[in-house]
Amino acid sequence: MAIKLKSEEELTIMREAGRIVGNTLAQLREMIRPGLNLMAIEQFVRDEYKRAGAKETFLNYAPGGKRPYPSNICVSVNEQLVHGIPTNRELQEGDIVTLDLGATYNGYVGDAAITVPVGKVNPIAEKLLEVTEAALWAGIGAARPGNHLNDVRGAIEDTIKVSGFSIVKGYGGHGVGREMHEEPHVENYRQRYRGPELVPGLVLALEPMVNAGGPDVYEEADGWTVSTKDGSLCCHFEHTIAIRAGGEAQVLTLP
Ligand code: MG
């Protein structure tokens, strides 16, 4: 599969798809509090997408014969890293919750995630959120024309490594466009090869995933939820970005 570069027209649509995701996440960040039911988040996102004229990207997503994803959002609490399916669970003071959203607008996907503290959280959780978000922005900073994919992977890796936290392997970022997952795959650590050169029109979802404890994760019996093996806290931040001529990447999923 080849990388599909986007035209200016396509990037304009992708910015709209991204804005819908960014706006929805910004509102959710304000809503998150102890006692909030995860299904209320699911319903809020459904209503927002409807209002914005966007479709739910995640609902019924079924790569490689997996059980179709049964929900509109991924909401992962504490030791759950990614792909948590919303239930009637209520958030509690001290939890951290990852909200991962995908919206399809005029045929193009925006994909972003944030991890949010629920009330007051412990210092490890605070640092974990800080480091993971910093790793995302380090990756974005390295996403310039003339650099290669390994520069992005390395910037993410270096930011996490100095913290003493663990980088999750086996999951990572990806190209994004008409499909949620396009080439290339973006590991959150250096590879032996420098990878494709970053050229204008390349759109990537960068998404560092970091564990406070060991690096190992497993898929739960529901066939989707990915959790840390040692039960430690974990964190995930994601933006969809476009490589732009002459300088900094454009973050498509900002509000
Ligand atoms: Mg993604």
CA–centroid distance, 205 to ligand 1, in Å, is 6
Residue 131 burial class via C-beta count within 10 angstroms: exposed 0-12, middle 13-18, buried 19 and up: buried
Instruction: Compute the mean pLDDT over every residue in the chain, rounded to the nearest whole number.
Output: 97
CA–centroid distance, 152 to ligand 1, in Å, is 16
> In this predicted model, what pLDDT tens digit does every residue of 41-53 receive, in sequence order?
999 999 999 999 9
CA–centroid distance, 204 to ligand 1, in Å, is 9
pLDDT of residue 220: 96
CA–centroid distance, 141 to ligand 1, in Å, is 18
pLDDT of residue 64: 86
Average pLDDT over residues 246-252: 95
- The CA–CA distances, whole Å, from 55 to 44, 51, 103, 123, 149 equal 14, 10, 6, 38, 30
Average pLDDT over residues 206-222: 97
CA–centroid distance, 133 to ligand 1, in Å, is 15
Contacts with 115 (C-beta within 8 Å, 6 or more apart), sequence order: 96, 97, 98, 99, 128, 129, 132, 133, 235, 236, 237
Rounded Cα–Cα distance for residues 74 and 108 (Å): 19
pLDDT of residue 187: 98
pLDDT of residue 65: 86
CA–centroid distance, 185 to ligand 1, in Å, is 10
Among the listed residues 42, 65, 66, 45, the one whose alpha carbon sits nearest the alpha carbon of residue 54: 45
Structure-token match 């995860």, residue found: 38
Residue 11 burial class via C-beta count within 10 angstroms: exposed 0-12, middle 13-18, buried 19 and up: buried
Average pLDDT over residues 103-128: 98
CA–chain centroid gap for 186, Å, is: 12
What percentage of the chain reaches a pLDDT higher than 90?
A: 98
CA–centroid distance, 110 to ligand 1, in Å, is 9
CA–centroid distance, 111 to ligand 1, in Å, is 6
Task: Enumerate domains of the chain plus CATH numbers.
Answer: 8-251 (3.90.230.10)
> In this predicted model, what pLDDT tens digit does every residue of 154-197 receive, in sequence order?
999 999 999 999 999 999 999 999 999 999 999 999 999 999 99
pLDDT of residue 81: 98
What percentage of the chain reaches a pLDDT higher than 70?
A: 100
Rounded Cα–Cα distance for residues 153 and 38 (Å): 32
Residues with CB under 5 A from ligand 1 (ion): 111, 205
CA–centroid distance, 100 to ligand 1, in Å, is 8
Average pLDDT over residues 85-104: 98
**Amino acid identity, position 110:** G
CA–centroid distance, 177 to ligand 1, in Å, is 11
Instruction: Judge whether residue 85 has pLDDT over 80.
Output: yes
CA–centroid distance, 37 to ligand 1, in Å, is 24
CA–centroid distance, 232 to ligand 1, in Å, is 22
Instruction: Judge whether residue 2 has pLDDT over 90.
Output: no
pLDDT of residue 1: 66
8 Å CB contact between 236 and 132: yes
CA–centroid distance, 174 to ligand 1, in Å, is 7
CA–centroid distance, 159 to ligand 1, in Å, is 20
